[in-house]
């Protein structure tokens, strides 16, 4: 079956522009997670959704970052007024529920802010 | 706060040698889950194993084995008879059960290179 998909696979943007990153989880998975992987910070948690609600937004680096999930499926991570330090690979994962299940990761979106 | 430490940044071994990747964790949760993920050069994280804090039995899956020791807060990963395809970055991760800890906290990863 289809795995987690993310789009775009690569995004190059200029400093100050807004970007939207999309994640399509595995069908039926209720939990969805966003992580960021960068050279300086390793793999870090950003936010997770249980259904359409986000119980834990503690990992979002600043108020320039926001995420939403609609219909319990697709999620969008938006970064406003991008900065060079936002350059990283943004990973999405989904799981049938949280805590108990393993997370299935997508291929990631590589964001480069010039 | 949760923390995962992978002290080995890079390891190189010759093919067919055994290699152990270390993982030490910290958490105050009584129920938690430990994971290992593999990230090959293609970049996609591949799940290897999940253990819960109440199950300290060691596990073997083919050439892979895991040693979970609660007393030392360690969850080490051994590859026996290593192969070139095992070359990747390996991440140990922890997920707690209390609010705020219900997310994967990753170690910094160990880059494993298998030399043919």
**Mutating which of B32, B46, B102, B108 best tests the A interface, going by the most A Cβ atoms within 10 A?**
B102
Alpha-carbon distance A60 to A35, whole Å?
10
Instruction: Give the minimum alpha-carbon distance from B107 to chain A in angstroms, rounded to a whole number.
Output: 8
**pLDDT score at A67:** 96
ω into residue A8 within 30 of 0, thus cis? yes
Residues of B in contact with A108 (CB under 8 A): 43-44
- The residue of chain B with its CA nearest to that of A97 is B102
**pLDDT score at A24:** 96
At B61, the pLDDT band (50, 70, 90 cuts) reads confident
| A99/B95 touch (CB, cutoff 8 Å), yes or no | yes
Q: Name residue, tokens 């937004």.
A: A57
| SS3 (DSSP) at A77 | strand
**Mutating which of B50, B99, B103 best tests the A interface, going by the most A Cβ atoms within 10 A?**
B103
What are the pLDDT digits (tens) for B72-104? 999 999 999 999 999 999 999 998 887 777 788
| Tens of each residue's pLDDT in chain A, 114 residues | 589 999 999 999 999 999 999 999 999 899 999 999 998 778 899 998 988 988 888 889 999 999 999 888 999 999 999 999 999 999 999 988 765 577 899 999 999 999
pLDDT (average), residues B33-39: 93
Instruction: Give the minimum alpha-carbon distance from A58 to chain B in angstroms, rounded to a whole number.
Output: 8
B113 compared with B103, residue with greater pLDDT: B113
Chain A, window 91-110: residues with a beta carbon less than 8 angstroms from a chain B beta carbon: 91, 93, 98-100, 102-108
| A33/B33 touch (CB, cutoff 8 Å), yes or no | no
Contact between B23 and B6 under an 8 Å Cβ cutoff? The reply is: yes
What are the pLDDT digits (tens) for A84-96? 999 999 999 998 8
Measuring CA to CA, which residue among A16, A35, A5 is closest to residue A79? Answer: A16
Contact between A87 and B32 under an 8 Å Cβ cutoff? The reply is: no
């Amino acid at each position: 079956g289809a795995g987690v998909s993310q789009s775009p696979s690569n995004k190059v943007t200029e400093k100050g522009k807004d970007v939207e990153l999309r994640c399509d989880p595995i069908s039926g998975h209720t939990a969805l997670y966003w992580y960021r992987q960068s050279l300086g910070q390793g793999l870090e948690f950003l936010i997770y959704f249980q259904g359409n609600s986000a119980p834990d937004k503690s990992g979002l680096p600043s108020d320039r970052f926001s995420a939403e999930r609609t219909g319990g499926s697709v999620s969008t991570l938006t970064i406003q007024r991008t900065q060079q330090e936002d350059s990283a690979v943004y990973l999405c994962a989904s799981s049938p529920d949280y805590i108990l299940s393993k997370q299935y990761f997508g291929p990631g979106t590589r964001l480069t802010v010039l | 706060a949760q923390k995962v430490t992978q002290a080995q940044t890079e390891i190189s071994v010759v093919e067919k040698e055994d290699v152990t990747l270390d993982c030490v964790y910290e958490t105050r949760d009584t129920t938690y889950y430990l994971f290992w993920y593999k990230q090959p050069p293609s970049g996609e994280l591949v799940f290897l194993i999940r253990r819960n804090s109440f199950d300290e039995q060691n596990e073997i899956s083919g050439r892979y084995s895991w040693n979970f020791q609660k007393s030392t807060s360690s969850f080490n990963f051994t590859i026996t008879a290593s192969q070139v395809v095992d070359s990747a970055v390996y991440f140990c991760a922890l997920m707690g059960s209390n609010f705020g800890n219900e997310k994967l906290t990753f170690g910094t990863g160990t880059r494993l290179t298998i030399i043919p």
